[in-house]
């Protein structure tokens, strides 16, 4: 796989550091922002003759975000009047004045 492609797809500073040391022999300063490190390593890779060959690879469509699934509870639910949080109802909540059955 192409080095520049790997640098573009790296998710963490640790990934960028590993690629820089392995392929370029460059130690990165992890105090810098991830995008700054990525730009520096890509510039170094291009200066050493690595090319971006991402056009040869088929573009993979990004998966669409999934809608949040409804909770699997079919029993009673309770709502905290103070915070609005909804949770499964238990018998112990009946004595709590800040909880109401939904």
Q: Find the range with the poorest average confidence among 4-13, 44-53, 64-73, 81-90.
A: 64-73
Q: What does the pLDDT look like over 10-49, one tens digit per residue? A: 999 999 999 999 988 988 888 999 999 999 999 988 888 8
Question: Distance between CA atoms of 80 and 93, rounded to whole angstroms?
Answer: 10
> How many residues appear in the chain?
102
pLDDT at 95 over 80: yes
Radius of gyration of the chain (CA): 25
For residue 40, the model assigns a pLDDT of 92
């Amino acid at each position: 796989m192409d080095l520049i492609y790997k640098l573009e797809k790296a998710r963490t500073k640790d990934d960028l550091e590993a690629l820089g040391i392995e392929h370029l022999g460059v130690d990165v300063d992890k105090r810098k922002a991830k995008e700054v490190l990525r730009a520096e390593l890509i510039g170094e890779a291009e200066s050493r003759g690595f090319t971006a060959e991402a056009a040869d690879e088929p573009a993979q469509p990004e998966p669409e975000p999934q809608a949040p699934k409804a909770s699997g509870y079919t029993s009673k639910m309770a709502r905290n009047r103070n915070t609005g949080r909804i949770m499964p109802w238990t018998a112990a909540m009946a004595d709590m004045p800040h909880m109401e059955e939904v």
